[in-house]
Amino acid sequence: SAPATVTPTGAPTGADETAVGQQGPDLTTSLGTRLRDTDHSLKAGSRGPLLLQDHHLREKITHFDHERIPERVVHARGAGAHGEFVAYGNAAGVTCADFLAEGVRTPVFVRFSTVLGSRGSADTVRDTRGFATKFYTREGVFDLVGNNMPVFFIQDGIKFPDIIHAGKPHPDREIPQAQSAHDTFWDFVSLHTEAQHHTMWNMSDRGIPRSFRMMEGFGVHTFRLQDADGSTTLAKLHWKPRLGVHSLTWEEAQLAGGVDPDFHRRDLYDAIESGACPEWELGLQVFPDTEEQTFEGIDLLDPTKMVPEELAPVQPVGRMTLTGTPTNFFAEVEQVAFHVGNLVPGIDVTDDPLMQVRLFSYVDTQLTRLGGPNFNQLPINRSHAPVNDMLRDGFGQQAVHGGIAPYRPNSLDGGCPFVPPGSGGTGAETPQVTPGEGWFVETPREVPASRKVRAAPASFADHFTQARLFWLSMTSVEQDHIVAAYTFELGKCYESAIRERQLMALGAIDGSLAERVAEGLGMPVPEPVEQPAADVAPSPALRQVGEEWPV
């Protein structure tokens, strides 16, 4: 008879899913066979050669050989944290998104990043910072994939590969890491003057944050919100840090980066672990959803423009607190997959041509980076709302789907709530549902009959006014820092023609700025460019302020 120790067949039960590969006290193979020795390979005799039959050796080495996945094509260097978002409830008038309803508490995961450096690069470089938030709402996952600056380098996503090729290290010498101090970067931004506004933000103190905890976050694009009645509003989304906005000086950044290249991620994790949990308020700037999609003459579909807070105040709608550090960096910070198209009822995209390209790009890159189409099943990406999709099979599939009819409508697997009476079960008629009832419904908007066009709208033509607004809004100390940054970074350019062209672009922003940078570079001041005199007023809200937490 069989020994008493034989147990029924079947998978072990009650195992903590997050502990896959870490159950029980003993070392095992990946399939649970207990191993007594992992220090010596199996040999023919004590001095070898090694035997091919050593399954444990081959499994260990083979798995190790495949431990790395590609780093993100941009934003490769990042740090993440878990937390919670609590809504104030005052956004209900403009959006029916459930996670913005009063008192609703939503788990979040945030990933902060630099843009250009590789995964192992330093935290303290001059660069834009990513600020991406995943809200695990009761209505599905909403991703707010933003940056710490309110504008972007380009107006049309077709130019994204170009600006990134220009900003990444030179392809011949792989220099420099995560710095804007090189020829291709300045070649691009001086030739594409739409990039001048974002570049000015980079050259300002905002380009070297003191801490992730002290950064603002911006959705950049304009979103279209929908309330329970179906009325729509345009909105920009902002994060305001409780600790105010603070930066490192250039000298501090060099020292901090030299002593501790992990300065920002260490600061984030140390703060959370010591109980100094960082907080941000989510705020909305709201605009009427007019046919022109402009506000005070600013084209809301142009991502190189922001709307000054003097014209549209940021109205706080909820608070986020980060309370947890990752348990496993790879499983959380590396495997997290954000996507601008991850939306919930009440929030929709607009026709911003940068945003539209992003809708295509993220899932596309993640198919490669995360090895196939099932990355939303990874624990960090999983919805906290029930999922019932018809996505089946594929690389990395973890689910064991039941039923035989993954199509809708069907008459085999319990039918489908979408079969309208009298439709004959063809699904031809879409039932009337509203976002207020928790369904995602694209916001209605007429697309005018038009011919195909490969050109920018005329309203995207002004590249300098807002850069000038930013410059004029700085204190004299902040202006000194901007001049020093342009001088240093442009000073690393080998091609004097590129420096000259960038000086001309600075001249179009502000004559005194161009003059001061030219002086620092020891170059002739470019011919003055005619500027509209008082077309912009300085914006106090753009200043670097360690303001009190607005309650």
- Single out the segment in contact with ligand HEM by CB under 6 A; choices: 54-62, 320-328, 332-340, 486-494: 332-340
Strands 223-226 and 140-147: unpaired
- Give the C-alpha separation, 227 to 92, whole Å: 7
Would you mind telling me the total number of residues written for the chain in this entry? 551
119: three-class secondary structure by DSSP? coil
Q: Are 138 and 384 in contact (CB under 8 A)?
A: yes
- Return the number of the residue (240 or 499) whose C-beta is nearest ligand HEM: 240
Using rule CB under 6 A, residue 132 touches ligand HEM: yes
Task: Output the DSSP codes for 321-377.
Answer: EEEE--S-HIIIIIT----TT---TTEE----HHHHHHHHHHHHHHHHHTTSTTGGG
Catalytic residue among 40, 63, 82, 147: 147
Q: Rule CB under 6 A: choose which of 354, 467, 485, 509 binds ligand HEM.
A: 354
Using rule CB under 6 A, residue 188 touches ligand HEM: no
Nearest approach, Cβ of 386 to ligand HEM (angstroms)? 25
- Give the C-alpha separation, 458 to 426, whole Å: 45
Using rule CB under 6 A, residue 337 touches ligand HEM: yes
> x/- binding map, residues 88-127, to ligand HEM, per CB under 6 A?
-----------------------x-x--------------
Using rule CB under 6 A, residue 369 touches ligand HEM: yes
Is residue 516 part of an annotated ligand binding site? Answer: no
Using rule CB under 6 A, residue 167 touches ligand HEM: no
Is residue 105 part of an annotated ligand binding site? Answer: no
Q: Are 238 and 218 in contact (CB under 8 A)?
A: yes
Nearest approach, Cβ of 218 to ligand HEM (angstroms)? 7
Using rule CB under 6 A, residue 366 touches ligand HEM: yes
Using rule CB under 6 A, residue 268 touches ligand HEM: no
Other Cβ atoms closer than 10 A to 53: 8
Query: Quick one: DSSP state of residue 4?
Result: T
Cα dihedral across residues 168, 173, 177, 183: positive or negative = negative
Using rule CB under 6 A, residue 201 touches ligand HEM: no
Q: Rule CB under 6 A: choose which of 100, 144, 145, 284 binds ligand HEM.
A: 145
Cα-based distances in Å from 214 to 275, 394, 449, 482: 16, 42, 46, 20
Q: Rule CB under 6 A: choose which of 51, 73, 276, 497 binds ligand HEM.
A: 73
Task: List the structure tokens of 234.
Answer: 């345009």
- Give the C-alpha separation, 257 to 127, whole Å: 13
- Give the C-alpha separation, 112 to 473, whole Å: 27
Residue with tokens 């423009």: 305
Q: Are 303 and 220 in contact (CB under 8 A)?
A: yes
Catalytic residue among 40, 55, 63, 75: 75
Using rule CB under 6 A, residue 365 touches ligand HEM: yes
- Return the number of the residue (74 or 243) whose C-beta is nearest ligand HEM: 74
**147 catalytically annotated:** yes
**75 catalytically annotated:** yes
Is residue 369 part of an annotated ligand binding site? Answer: yes
Task: List the structure tokens of 515.
Answer: 């003059």
- Give the C-alpha separation, 267 to 532, whole Å: 44
Using alpha carbons only, what angle is made at residue 39 by residues 35 and 43, rounded to the nearest 5 degrees?
90
- Single out the segment in contact with ligand HEM by CB under 6 A; choices: 99-107, 145-153, 461-469, 534-542: 145-153
Using rule CB under 6 A, residue 146 touches ligand HEM: yes
# binding residues, ligand HEM (CB under 6 A): 27
Using rule CB under 6 A, residue 336 touches ligand HEM: yes
Is residue 111 part of an annotated ligand binding site? Answer: yes
Question: Which residues belong to the annotated binding site for heme?
Answer: 72, 111, 160, 358, 362, 369
Question: Which residues belong to the annotated binding site?
Answer: 72, 111, 160, 358, 362, 369
Q: Residues with catalytic annotation?
A: 75, 147
- Which residues form the interface with ligand HEM (CB under 6 A)? 72-75, 78, 111, 113, 130, 132, 145-147, 152, 157, 160, 220, 336-338, 354, 357-358, 361-362, 365-366, 369
